[in-house]
Amino acid sequence: MQHIWTKIEELRAQYELLEVTRTPIDVFTFFEVDLGLDPIPFDDFTAKYRVEAAITADFTGIYLDAEQYTLMEKGPEWKLNRLRFTIAHELAHFFLHRGLLQAENFSSLPNFARWTANYGGSKYTAEQEANEFAGRLLVPESRLRSMFDEFAPQAEKLIPNFMQSGPLRDKFADMAAPKFGVNSQVIAVRLDRDDIWSAA
């Protein structure tokens, strides 16, 4: 996954909106204004296809559930967080897989499905890469680590061997999540992936 992390560092250096101090990362303004991709509101997208967003085949726009897009700040926080993560996931395809996909020049959907199945030698690698990209982009490793470094001495005082406590880890994830505009499951994954606090 090093190539993904390197890509993210390159992007952070290039775009102010992605700087580690600017959390929650505004992926909405980033994809529309900095990348110039078209947002394409799609009626009942989530209800019909069970996804919040998807990049277009020509990588010039992102389909979004029309209602969620329009009312994103008026709905529940978890929905906005999920949409933010999904956009970041789609941006991973834009940055990591666009060249590969365009070079393949798929003539049909089955061809595309076959490529996805074989990419990286395992079925879900492209999607796993996209999730890793999204998590790392939205939750900068250095910020999460410094939050943990502040938290750890206090936790140690309360519970010896606190690192073994699953509920405390969940509590920390719940506490950190709003700072990054993600759901706490994303923090739990980052704690593990960034080798900060692995699940016991």
Partner 1 sequence: MFSETIKSLRLHKRLTLRDFCEQVRLDPSNWSKVERGINPPPSDVGLLDRLADFFDLRGAKKLEFIDAAALQRREIPQDVADNVILQRALPAFFRAARGHELTAKELEGLADDIRKLHTRDAE
* Close Cβ partners of 95 (under 8 Å, ≥ 6 residues apart): 7, 11, 133
> Which residues within the stretch 57-96 sit at the binding site for partner 1 (CB under 8 A)?
61, 66, 69-70, 72
Number of residues that bind partner 1 (CB under 8 A): 15
| Helix axis angle, 125-138 to 184-193, nearest 10° | 100
For partner 1, the closer of residues 65 and 132 by Cβ is 65
Query: Does 43 help bind partner 1 (rule: CB under 8 A)?
Result: yes
| Choice from 3, 14, 36, 105 touching partner 1 (CB under 8 A) | 36
| Choice from 19, 38, 44, 150 touching partner 1 (CB under 8 A) | 38
Distances (CA, A) of 54 to 6, 94, 98, 109, 191: 24, 11, 13, 15, 27
Structure tokens at 12: 């952070």
> How many CB atoms sit inside 10 A of residue 130's CB?
24
| Choice from 24, 39, 165, 170 touching partner 1 (CB under 8 A) | 39
Shortest distance (Å) from residue 184 CB to partner 1: 26
Distance, in Å, from the CA atom of 41 to the CA atom of 13, rounded to the nearest integer, reads 30
> How many CB atoms sit inside 10 A of residue 105's CB?
7
> How many CB atoms sit inside 10 A of residue 192's CB?
13
Of 113, 69, 75, 112, nearest to 87 (Cα)?
Answer: 69
Query: Does 41 help bind partner 1 (rule: CB under 8 A)?
Result: yes
For partner 1, the closer of residues 9 and 32 by Cβ is 32
For partner 1, the closer of residues 31 and 172 by Cβ is 31
| Choice from 8, 18, 25, 28 touching partner 1 (CB under 8 A) | 28
* Close Cβ partners of 167 (under 8 Å, ≥ 6 residues apart): none
Shortest distance (Å) from residue 62 CB to partner 1: 11
Query: Does 29 help bind partner 1 (rule: CB under 8 A)?
Result: yes
Residues that bind partner 1 (CB under 8 A): 28-29, 32-33, 36, 38-41, 43, 61, 66, 69-70, 72
